[in-house]
Amino acid sequence: MLEIDADRLRDTFADYSAIGATDRGGLHRLALSDEDKAVRDRFRDDVEALGLAVRVDELGNMFARRDGTDPDAAPVLVGSHLDSQPSGGRYDGQLGVLCALETLRALDDAGVETRRPVEIVNWTNEEGARFEHAMLGSGVFTDVVSTEEALAITDDDGVSVGEALERIGYAGDAPCEAHDVHAHLELHIEQGPTLEEHGTSIGIVEGVYGMSWLGVTIDGEADHAGPTPMHTRTDALDAATEAIGKIQKLPMRLSEDAVSTVGRISVEPDAINVIPTRATFTADVRSYDDDVVERGVDAIRFEVDAACERIGASSEVDEIWRIPHTEFSESVCSTVETVAAELDVSAERIVSGAGHDAKYLSDIAETAMIFVPSEDGKTHNEDEFTPWEDVVRGAAVFANTTLRLSSEQPDKIR
Amino acid sequence: MLEIDADRLRDTFADYSAIGATDRGGLHRLALSDEDKAVRDRFRDDVEALGLAVRVDELGNMFARRDGTDPDAAPVLVGSHLDSQPSGGRYDGQLGVLCALETLRALDDAGVETRRPVEIVNWTNEEGARFEHAMLGSGVFTDVVSTEEALAITDDDGVSVGEALERIGYAGDAPCEAHDVHAHLELHIEQGPTLEEHGTSIGIVEGVYGMSWLGVTIDGEADHAGPTPMHTRTDALDAATEAIGKIQKLPMRLSEDAVSTVGRISVEPDAINVIPTRATFTADVRSYDDDVVERGVDAIRFEVDAACERIGASSEVDEIWRIPHTEFSESVCSTVETVAAELDVSAERIVSGAGHDAKYLSDIAETAMIFVPSEDGKTHNEDEFTPWEDVVRGAAVFANTTLRLSSEQPDKIR
């Protein structure tokens, strides 16, 4: 088996975590910020120190290829993202890039020549925190978003992705488009509590939930909160409260895996002594079963209609986004499973409730992910934590799975 | 009986309604705006045309006194306010000032000499829409708010009440403080549906609801809406929804007259795919019975606690404002009642769910109000409407009540 250097990984993780570090132990490293430039520079140095050339594409995605023995073989692509949420943790994204880097280093240490190239990647703007389009670099790479559209997205200050890339010197010449990839593997923190609850070290991610985002607007009548008796009111927030209560309890009627969230709400005129004339809220419903999502959307429409009908309000429910579930590669998953078993690392099959770059990559390559536990499921905040022993186990499974995938014959998968 | 001139009142009402008129038949006449200056100028002209001098105090409250035969007698004060909500109606406030003006004109027409002076008033910033302190002019007059505090209140552009008064030329020299007032009478639209529902022309307002304003903050935990199973969530909006649902239904358990309203709500971080970590909302609970308000506040605290306890969230409930109910003068009310009966105008005793300048005036003088119906209870919007025949009936009762009050001996009331 390929040996990783746990101390080196830990030191590197500490070094990278100092770039954009927050006082409370997290990261503030928004996409294409000065902090992102600093970590990209460090990543470039580390990769070049392995004798590899870094390619940067138009979207700022960074690639480096360690050649294999077969000049015609498509590479195994490994990596994740180095950007963070505004008050993010040190594990989300960064851990995946550094396990990929450790894999390249371990291959060099062991003097291993793989048949296929092993290619490392750092995707641009996975978080979508500064530029509001999550998984942007991988999205353009897999042709889900056009290059023009992506470069034109602006942050709150009106700075475009294109301008920000130029500013930090990461607007590359290479077109951002998919090249031939044999298989793709991404390690990531779970961002949920399941592995910790089950006492499992790694999750073998079989796929990603399908989901729907809905925007709901309820129109009632504004009236003075004092002289308007309860029975004559058409309070938009009254109907919204009824509907939201049902939406929050929807998963119990849908499936074991379904989740349903109301993340945004506002009212008009938003005055303490005026009955709301309008209430606006969102719903996010997810399941691995697309039919469950469909039934969830139908149920939300039903509940909004019923709540409005009850008090004579009117409503509009718009579907903002719908994506079907994604099934990752059974072949790659079973390779991960075999490697974990050989390394005596506890593992379980799992699906991801959140999107990842690997979701888009699965459109163009055999793909799977490895999850490591998140303490209390905490993520997107400075308290993110994964026990170090689980990181090491995950990195070992990741490195050896990468090695095994890079030895596969062309006809092994697909 | 004193005869009012219904055609003159209608013409005057039409003229005043043209000042700050909106396209949809309402008024945009924010306190101390150019529109407010224009209507104040017109009011000054109309009062001066009766041979009366207009006094303006430091807060811009406008008074004019029609002398009586007894130089030592305290005046009967009549009037309301000429400012409006941003998209207000033509009746709220304005109708009360114009019925008072018509009363003075009718007294002149009839050549009546009253024993007491009759004083007309236009209060500054009753609405609290531009400067966020409702009933400001009458509040300073009755010493509920200090002059300094009031003049320093700023609008959204940072302009203070003092600056705005100077700008439109209505920063008077007279101190804003209560003088001796025998009785106060204000005509206003009901702003609720009761008179219309009962088919009654005027309401004899016996008092004003007590009320409490509460600010509620619920703290949960922010988590990703995808990978976080329902059973591990501490969704602040989940607890808020439970509590708000109970608050909206509270009046059914409190009393026949109680009303309860959630007018404001917001969540943090307010992202479609993030479970709310914080939900903030307000509650407004009112009743004519202060014990009912007290029980309402207790019930709201109980429901917030219970909803938070259920999911492990924490909460804070702050009382922003509490005012006890106000009882108007039985003597003035029964005078209104007698006059209405003599004029064959249908009338009923009623209490007001909303605050009015008269509420503050009742601290310093025997006070009552006359309500005229509001179609569908609509108010604070451009669709405010009162049938003209009810306006005329209300104005006649108002004028004759004023006449009767102005003949009262010192020991009649108090």
Question: Where do the H-state alpha helices sit in A193-289?
Answer: 194-198, 236-249, 251-254
Q: Which residues pair with A297 in a beta bridge?
A: none
CB contact under 8 Å between A377 and B264, yes or no, is no
What confidence tier does B381 reach under pLDDT thresholds 50, 70, 90? Answer: confident
Task: Average the pLDDT over A314-336 and give the result.
Answer: 96
Angle at A97 between CA A202 and CA A137, to 5 degrees: 115
Cis peptide bond upstream of B71, omega within 30:
no
Nearest CA in chain B to A352: B227
**ipTM of the predicted structure?**
0.87
Two tokens, residue A47: 């990769």
Q: Are A338 and A273 in contact (CB under 8 A)?
A: no
A224 contacts B380 by C-beta, under 8 angstroms:
yes
**In terms of C-beta density within 10 A (0-12 exposed, 13-18 middle, 19 or more buried), how is residue A143 classed?**
middle
Residue-level pLDDT at A408: 85
Q: pLDDT > 70: what percent of chain B?
A: 99
**What pLDDT is attached to residue A371?**
98
pLDDT of residue A414: 47
CA neighbor of A39 nearest in space, from A103, A100, A124:
A124
Q: Is the peptide bond before B269 cis (omega within 30 degrees of 0)?
A: yes
Asked whether residue A256 is assigned to any structural domain, the reply reads yes
User: Minimal CA–CA distance to A168: which of A176, A160, A179, A157?
Assistant: A160
What pLDDT band is residue A413 in, cutting at 50, 70 and 90? low
Range of the structural domain that residue A222 is part of: 210-323
As beta bridge partners, residue A93 has none
Decide if B143 contacts B100 (C-beta within 8 A).
no
B224:A192 CB<8 A: yes
Residue B232 is nearest to which of A229, A377, A380, comparing CB atoms? A377
**Domain shared by B263 and B120, yes or no:** no
For chain B, the 3-state helix, strand and coil shares in percent, each to the nearest 5, are: 35, 25, 40
At A44, is the secondary structure helix, strand, or coil? Answer: helix
B110 pLDDT more than 50: yes
Determine which of B261, B281, B310, B321 to mutate to test the interface with A (most A C-beta atoms within 10 Å): B261
Two structure tokens written together for A224:
């003075």
Indicate the residue of B226, B263, B276 with minimum beta-carbon distance to A275. Answer: B263
What is the DSSP secondary structure assignment for residue B115, as one 8-state letter?
Answer: S
Interface probe, candidates B223, B255, B304, B376, chain A, greatest A C-beta count within 10 A: B223
Q: What is the pLDDT of residues A351-366, one digit of tens each?
A: 999 999 999 999 999 9
Cβ of B266 within 8 Å of Cβ of A271? The answer is no
Domain co-membership, A176 together with A214? no
pTM above 0.95, yes or no: no
Chain A positions in Cβ-Cβ contact with residue B264 (cut-off 8 Å): 267, 270-272
Give A210-254 pLDDT, tens digit per residue.
999 999 999 999 889 999 999 999 999 999 999 999 999 999 999
Question: DSSP secondary structure string, B207-263?
Answer: EE-EEEEEEEEEE----BTTTS-GGG---HHHHHHHHHHHHHHTHHHH-SS-EEE--
End residue of a domain, out of B302, B323, B344: B323
Record: contact B244-A241, CB cut-off 8 A: yes
| Rounded distance between C-alpha atoms, residue A215 and residue A219, angstroms | 13
Residue with tokens 């770059």, as numbered in its chain = A357
Are residues B89 and B197 both part of a single domain?
A: yes
Integer CA distances (angstroms), A351 to A356, A395, A398, in order: 12, 19, 17
Residues B219 and B191 in one domain: no
Question: Is residue A1 domain-resident?
Answer: no
Pairing of strands A366-372, A202-208: antiparallel
Q: Is residue B69 situated within a structural domain?
A: yes
pLDDT digits (tens, 9 = 90+) for A84-106: 999 899 999 999 999 999 999 99
Query: What is the residue-averaged pLDDT of chain A?
Result: 96
Residue B142 lies in a domain: yes
- Contacts A–B by Cβ distance under 8 A: 185
Among B267, B294, B323, which residue terminates a domain? B323
Report the CATH number that the domain containing residue B244 is assigned in CATH.
3.30.70.360
Q: Report pLDDT for B413.
A: 52
Cβ-nearest to A379 among B191, B224, B276: B224
**CA nearest B14: which of B1, B31, B33, B27?**
B27
Type and span of the H or E element at A13: helix A6-17
Tokens of A400: 């050896």
Residue in B192, B227, B232 closest to A352 by CB: B227
Helix/strand/coil for A124: coil
Distance from CA of A263 to the nearest CA of B (A): 5
User: Using the beta-carbon criterion (under 8 Å), do B245 and A248 form an inter-chain contact?
Assistant: no
In whole angstroms, what is the distance from residue A363 CA to residue A183 CA?
Answer: 11
Judge whether residue B389 has pLDDT over 70: yes
Q: Which residues contact A27 (CB under 8 A, 6 or more apart)?
A: A17, A20, A21, A35, A84, A85, A88, A89, A90, A94, A382
The verdict on residue A412 lying in a domain is no
Interchain contact, A263 vs B192, CB within 8 Å: no
Q: What residue type is A4 in one-letter code? A: I
Token representation of residue B166 = 């100077």
Contact A226 B191 (CB under 8 A): yes
Place of tokens 């006070």: B367
Residues A229 and A330 placed together within one structural domain of the fold: no
Report strand pairing: A366-372 vs A210-219: unpaired
Average pLDDT over residues A168-182: 97
- Quick one: pLDDT at residue A412? 53
Rounded to whole angstroms, what are the CA distances from B175 to A391, B43, B131, B336, B370? 75, 21, 20, 32, 29
Q: Is the pLDDT of residue A132 over 90?
A: no
Contacts of B263 in chain A (CB under 8 A): 225, 237, 267, 270-276
pLDDT reading at B217 higher than 70:
yes
Cα end-to-end distance, chain A, whole Å: 26
Express the helix, strand and coil content of chain A in percent, nearest 5 each.
35, 25, 40
Residues B137 and B270 in one domain: no
What SS3 class is residue B281? strand
CB-nearest partner of B227 from A190, A242, A267: A190
Q: Which residue has the tokens 């059974």?
A: A330
Instruction: Give the per-residue pLDDT at A241.
Output: 98
pLDDT of residue A130: 92
Q: What is the pLDDT of residue B410?
A: 65
What is the Cα–Cα distance from A361 to A178, expressed in whole angstroms?
9
In terms of Cβ atoms closer than 10 Å to its own Cβ (0-12, 13-18, 19+), residue A266 is middle
pLDDT (tens digit per residue) in A327-351:
999 999 999 999 999 999 999 999 9
A298 and A189 both lie in a single domain? no
- Domain shared by A340 and A362, yes or no: yes
Position B72 in a domain: yes
Contact between A226 and B211 using a beta-carbon 8 Å cutoff: yes
Residues B138, B238, single domain; the answer is no
Q: Which residue of B has its CA nearest to A321?
A: B272
What is the C-alpha to C-alpha distance for residues B262 and B270, in angstroms, rounded to an integer? 19
Strand locations in A34-125, DSSP E? 54-56, 62-66, 76-81, 118-123
Q: Is B348 exposed, middle or buried (0-12, 13-18, 19+ CB in 10 A)?
A: middle
Q: Are A99 and A395 in contact (CB under 8 A)?
A: yes
CA angle A29, A31, A36 (to 5 degrees): 55
- In A, minimum Cα distance to B382 occurs at A222
Q: Which of B261, B271, B274 sits opposite A225 (nearest CB)?
A: B261
Q: Which residues pair with B287 in a beta bridge?
A: B210
Q: How far apart are CA B175 and CA B141, in angstroms?
A: 9
> Which amino acid type is present at position A331?
S
- A225 with B286: Cβ contact below 8 A: yes
Q: Averaged over B279-283, what is the pLDDT? A: 98
> Which residue has tokens 């308000």?
B293
Per DSSP, what are the bridge partners of residue A318? Answer: A215
Specify the CATH number for the domain of residue B157. Answer: 3.40.630.10
User: Taking CB atoms and an 8 Å cutoff, what residues of chain B touch A272?
Assistant: 213, 263-264, 282, 284, 320
Cα separation, A55 vs B258, in Å, equals: 70
pLDDT at A29: 97
pLDDT for B414: 47
Q: Cα–Cα distances in Å, from A318 out to A278, A282, A296, A300, A407?
A: 16, 9, 14, 11, 48
Q: What is the C-alpha to C-alpha distance for residues A68 and A75, in angstroms, rounded to an integer?
A: 8
Q: What are phi and psi of B172, to 5 degrees?
A: -80, 170
Backbone angles phi, psi at B188, to 5 degrees: -150, 160
Q: Before B324, cis peptide (omega within 30)? A: no
Which residue, of A291, A323, A355, is where some domain finishes?
A: A323
Task: Determine, for residues B223 and A265 on separate chains, whether the beta-carbon distance falls below 8 Å.
Answer: no
Q: Are B54 and B119 in contact (CB under 8 A)?
A: no
| DSSP track, B302-336 | HHHHHHHHHHT-EEEEEEEEEE--EE--HHHHHHH
- Inter-residue contact A130 to A136 (CB < 8 Å): no
- Residues A202 and A215 both lie in one domain: no
Residue B412 placed within a domain: no
Q: Do A267 and B271 touch (CB under 8 A)?
A: no
Q: Are A250 and A341 in contact (CB under 8 A)?
A: no
What's the rounded mean pLDDT across residues B341-363?
Answer: 97
Are B192 and A267 an interchain contact pair (Cβ–Cβ within 8 Å)?
A: no
**Contact (CB, 8 A) for B48 and B56:** no
Give the separation between CA A117 and CA A67, rounded to whole angstroms.
4
Q: What is the mean pLDDT of chain B?
A: 96
Q: Give Dmax (Cα) for chain A.
A: 83
Between chains, do B227 and A192 touch, taking CB under 8 Å as contact? yes
Q: Look up tokens 């209104």; give the residue.
A: B336
Is residue B109 located within the same domain as residue B192? Answer: yes
Residues A204 and A268 in one domain: no
Q: Smallest Cα–Cα separation from B191: which of A268, A232, A231, A224?
A: A224
Split into its structural domains, chain B has a count of 2
Does some domain include residue A411? no
Helix (H) or strand (E) holding B264: none
A290 has pLDDT over 60:
yes
Chain A hits for B276, Cβ within 8 Å: 262-263
Residue in the structure block whose two tokens are 């924010």: B30
